[in-house]
Structure 1
Amino acid sequence: MSEIRDGGPFYHGTKAKLVPGDLLTAGFPSNYRPEVIMNHIYFTALSDGAGLAAQIAAIDGSPHVYEVEPTGDFEDDPNVTDKKFPGNPTRSYRSASALKVIREIHDWKRISDEELQGWRDRIARINESSRGEIIN
């Protein structure tokens, strides 16, 4: 575990409809590569980042952003930090422990349909290349 200096609040973006008190856990398919079962649950301290993750998820449904509280240790997300970007500019984290849903938030920036398609095209290209490996 790396030393975490971010006190939150923290957010998780998903297309699942959740209520306060629900627990988000690892062990489910990746939002971007459904054939990969994730060993961690991912979250960020940026509500717009969580919203982007919810919008580009490769599952059906409406995007939701939830304020969440980690129930255990967490670390920088290696998929977007250090190995791919210096430091943690996205304030993204992962945990093998559950995240507890505090509340749904609604004041996050939604991207346009054109931007959404651009993200989906980019993810598809990454998944087709060797760069698409998820650090799980």
Structure 2
Amino acid sequence: MTYESCAHVEGPFFHGTRSVVAPGTELVPGYGSNFEDGRVSNHIYFTGLVPTAAWGAQLATALAGAEGNGRVYVVEPLGPFEDDPNVTDKRFPGNPTQSYRTRDALRVVTELEDWEPHPPDALRAMLDSLARLREQGLDVIED
């Protein structure tokens, strides 16, 4: 899916993060990436699936060295969006994770309070996998 062909995709949409934000807040690109030190993100990433947003929340929190599982928010994209090529092109063709990105803002609708975090062993396995990719120079983010 491209910026030109996203109108048919309906929410709800979710964004996982370590940040605490209030409903009505607009999340915009141009801030430091949660996943690569020193990188300013040109996009805001979101998903149509709560478990995918849970990965975003848990990984962002763990990579920052913070306690807890992070937060998942219901969000509304305020402009066009596209499939996230970091997921759909590299790992899950066809976008079964419903992972998207936008250069426009996401408006926070509400915090999702009752989401299920991934088990600690699954989180550890994902962090180990990311570390291996980083060691091999394969953790490139197309942004």
Which TM-score tier does this pair reach, normalised by the shorter chain? over 0.9
Counterpart among 28, 50, 59 of residue 47 in structure 1: 50
RMSD over equivalenced CA pairs, Å: 1.4
Q: How many residues align?
A: 136
Q: Deviations over 1:18-49 (max 9, x none)?
A: 11001111111221112211100000000121
Instruction: Report the equivalent of 2:99.
Output: 92
Instruction: Report the equivalent of 1:120.
Output: 127
Q: Structure 1 regions of 5+ residues with no counterpart?
A: none
Compute the displacement of 1:124 (Å): 1.0
1:106-117 matches, cutoff 5 A: 106-117=113-124
Q: Structure 2 regions of 5+ residues with no counterpart?
A: none
Q: Share of identical aligned residues, percent?
A: 44
TM-score norm. by structure 2 comes to: 0.88
1:11/1:45 contact within 8 Å kept:
yes
* C-alpha distance in structure 2 between counterparts of 1:61 and 1:70, whole Å: 28
Residue 25 of structure 1 aligns with an amino acid whose one-letter code is V
TM-score norm. by structure 1 comes to: 0.92
Runs of 4+ more than 3 Å apart: none
Residue 24 of structure 2 aligns with an amino acid whose one-letter code is G
Q: Secondary structure at the match of 1:122?
A: helix
* C-alpha distance in structure 1 between counterparts of 2:51 and 2:91, whole Å: 20
* C-alpha distance in structure 2 between counterparts of 1:40 and 1:97, whole Å: 8
